[in-house]
Amino acid sequence: MGEPDRPRGRSLIGESVLRLEDRPLLVGEGRFLGDVSFEDELHLRVVRSDVAHGVLRGVGLEDVLAAEGVVAAWGADEVAHLPAIEFRMTGFDELRPHCQRVLAGERVRYVGDPVAVVIAEDPYLAEDAAELAFVDVDPLEPVLEANSPEAVAPLTLEHEHGDVEAAFAGAHRIVELRATVGRHSGIPLETRGLLARPVDGDGPDGNRVELYGIAKVPHYNCVTIAAMLGLAPGQVVGREGHVGGGFGVRGELYPEDLLVTHAALKLGRPVKWVEDRREHLLAANHSRDQTYHVRAAVDADGIVQAIDADFFHDQGGYVRTHGATVPNLSVALLPGPYLVPSYRVRGHIRLTNKTPAGTYRAPGRFESTFVRERLMDAVAATYGLDPAEIRRRNLIPPESMPFDRGVNTLGTPVVYDSGDYARLLDRLLDHLGYESLREGLAARRGAGERVGLGIGMFVEKSGLGPFDDVRVRRLDGGGVEVVTGAASVGQGMETVIAQICAEVLDVDYVDVTVRHGQTDMIGRGLGAFASRVTVMTGVAVYLAATELAATGEVAEATFNTEHMTYPYGAHAAVVRVDEGTGGVTVERYVVAYDVGRAVNPMLVEGQIIGGVAQGIGGALLELFAYDSDGQPLATSFMDYLMPTVAEQPPVEVLLSEDAPSPLNPLGLKGAGEGGTTACGAAIAAAIDDAIGRPGAVTSLPATPELVRSLLRI
């Protein structure tokens, strides 16, 4: 057999063509960070606190320095000139005192807090030597609950619009609940790493340092590292290679990135750091971990007139690059697809002695969707209405689009650009055969099985601006080169960008080469996050290719936008609960998702199905638990449980293109996160239904232990 067929000379947007990225990855020729090495490279190992909270008296490195193969070892004093790591997004002055320095100085604030580094000729020797460091800590009482009075309270985000007081005063019923989403995270299969290589340069910037293993936001990270190390912006060059999964976690600027670059410059040799899995689970951003108290003022028809929400966000030991991004998104997107004319919310950011937190796929939405949809289910139960019916009554109608939510997030007003939410709900229910499915499940319950159905709806956001640049050039021999400041985290962006370019230029997409993540090839770039690449880079390449078609050899274009696009979705889960063990099996999962226009439906479906797996993990399995001393209990894949194929149900995807975005010429919205968003909500509702107890599941993950305790009440 030959290689897979590739369509030629056809319209390509909307076609499920095979990926350009795959061949090297299939034959073992991927260039992930760990695969890159240089002759004279050194290896860095981080010494970390194994106490959750304490006064750091000092780090004894004498034995380390005497160990075989060790070239250098440093504690905080040696890097005291490096500033704390700043916010990349959603910064607040109140949070700034809590930014993380590259090595902890006076206090350690979580198990895993870096306190020293060891650099040696060989990774085994670096690890051996790091074991000899003497970390002298006087333990302090750890704070482990965000809502405890001891938690440092730098900031509360507040928002209010409409007349909340009047809505509650005039409510027919008030429905109230408390709900918690546990701490879990993206956990890409490739751990983090960086290789910094000094190179003598004769260019205008003189000597430079190249960074391999950089990801997600290469330009931002290079410019920031340069500034922190006192270099000119062009002296730090990003060399993005293959990236083994991002999910919000990888590619943020971490202390280790500064330590590695600093070491390479100071020692004048390439320095490589690849963390092990335990380190990843201790040190890379955690996420979720929000606890809510919400009330709804509901009128006689079951319409929610107001929501009043109060939540605690457990930020862990420091505030990292995301600043207040996650709670800010929770604040803005909690009302979701429903009218909710009046809304008040307070989001309390609290510091605890756990790993610092950041974004993870559907940040702030997985959490707030769980809470809002639990609230809608509670309203349905209070009024004796079907869960689908209560949602239908509250949905924003298509004639209200664009719909101004009256709140800002990520620096832009939340204005839903387009959508027919009720139509998507109908499509989901039709596909399920809703009535007969419910009857069938009731019959199975009658026969003794614990089976149930749950649904959840949501509005996602995508395509964060404000700009993206693209340069397109014809190559000798008929090919086309696209250069972008975006990045790849394994999502298939090269293929999607090539498809759009090929369609405009009427060439074969396999003849389009997409270069990304090389910071010396293009002046600026915002990278890959917030499901932005297909929209922002996609439209920019469309504009540049259109110009190239008209003018000739090379063209550049910028796509600017002040607004995000808002895809929307509805999930349904059918689950079976084992009465003996409390174990939950997801029998069937359906995602209806409107992305405006799918450039490559196969890749969109891949994003959704993969997103569902992560959502199921968060709903049922994954939890960073801590003991009462703040010791993390999930430090390996034996304790941090991610779904395998055995836990993954068949996922049916109903891809819809009812509502193209009016904000860009292709109608695109991003597809990266909607597979995850409502998993917690739909599965919790399905468990309630299965055990016949509306409103039973109020915290995630719904572990066997939790479900068993619910069965016993």
Give the C-alpha separation, 683 to 577, whole Å. Answer: 11
Q: Which of 198, 244, 419, 630 binds another protein (CB under 8 A)?
A: 244
Kind of pairing between the strands at 236-239 and 451-459: unpaired
145 alpha-carbon distance from chain centroid: 23
337 counts as binding another protein under rule CB under 8 A: no
Nearest to 366 by CA among 404, 405, 329: 329
Q: Closest CB to another protein among 417 and 622?
A: 622
DSSP-derived 3-state class of residue 349: strand
Question: CB under 8 A: which stretch of 363-371, 469-477, 555-563, 607-615 binds another protein?
Answer: 607-615
CB of 669 to ligand FES, least distance (A): 23
4 counts as binding another protein under rule CB under 8 A: yes
| Backbone angle region of 160, left / alpha / beta, with phi > 0 → left and psi within -120 to 50 → alpha | beta
Give the C-alpha separation, 484 to 604, whole Å. Answer: 21
Question: CB under 8 A: which stretch of 101-109, 290-298, 599-607, 658-666 binds another protein?
Answer: 599-607
DSSP-derived 3-state class of residue 108: strand
Which positions from 265 to 284 touch another protein by CB under 8 A, shown as an x/- string?
-----------xx-------
Q: Closest CB to ligand FES among 185 and 698?
A: 185
Residue 280 parent element (H or E): helix 277-283
646 counts as binding another protein under rule CB under 8 A: yes
683 alpha-carbon distance from chain centroid: 20
CB of 261 to ligand FES, least distance (A): 27
636 counts as binding another protein under rule CB under 8 A: yes
- For residue 445, give the DSSP letter: H
State the binding partner of 472 from ligand FES, another protein, none, CB within 5 to 8 A by kind. Answer: none
Cβ burial, residue 495 (10 Å; 0-12/13-18/19+): buried
Using CB under 6 A as the criterion, which residues of the chain lie in contact with ligand FES when the complex forms?
189, 245, 490
Widest CA span of the chain, in angstroms?
79
What is 496-512 written as a DSSP string?
HHHHHHHHHHTS-GGGE
Q: What are the tokens at 21?
A: 């990225």
CB of 645 to ligand FES, least distance (A): 11
Kind of pairing between the strands at 208-212 and 236-239: parallel
* Contact set for another protein, span 486-525 (CB under 8 A): 489-492
Give the C-alpha separation, 51 to 353, whole Å. Answer: 10
Give the C-alpha separation, 545 to 80, whole Å. Answer: 48
CB of 605 to ligand FES, least distance (A): 14
Q: Closest CB to ligand FES among 27 and 550?
A: 27
Q: Closest CB to another protein among 190 and 314?
A: 190
6 counts as binding another protein under rule CB under 8 A: no
* Contact set for another protein, span 15-54 (CB under 8 A): 18-19, 21-23, 25-30, 32, 34-35, 37
402 counts as binding another protein under rule CB under 8 A: no
Kind of pairing between the strands at 304-314 and 107-108: unpaired
CB of 602 to ligand FES, least distance (A): 14
Torsion of CA 142, 146, 149, 150, to 10 degrees: 30
166 counts as binding another protein under rule CB under 8 A: no
Q: Closest CB to ligand FES among 32 and 92?
A: 32
Contacting positions for another protein (CB under 8 A):
1-4, 18-19, 21-23, 25-30, 32, 34-35, 37, 63, 66-68, 124, 128-129, 132, 186-191, 242-245, 247, 276-277, 489-492, 602-603, 606, 609-614, 636-638, 642, 644-646, 648, 650-651, 675
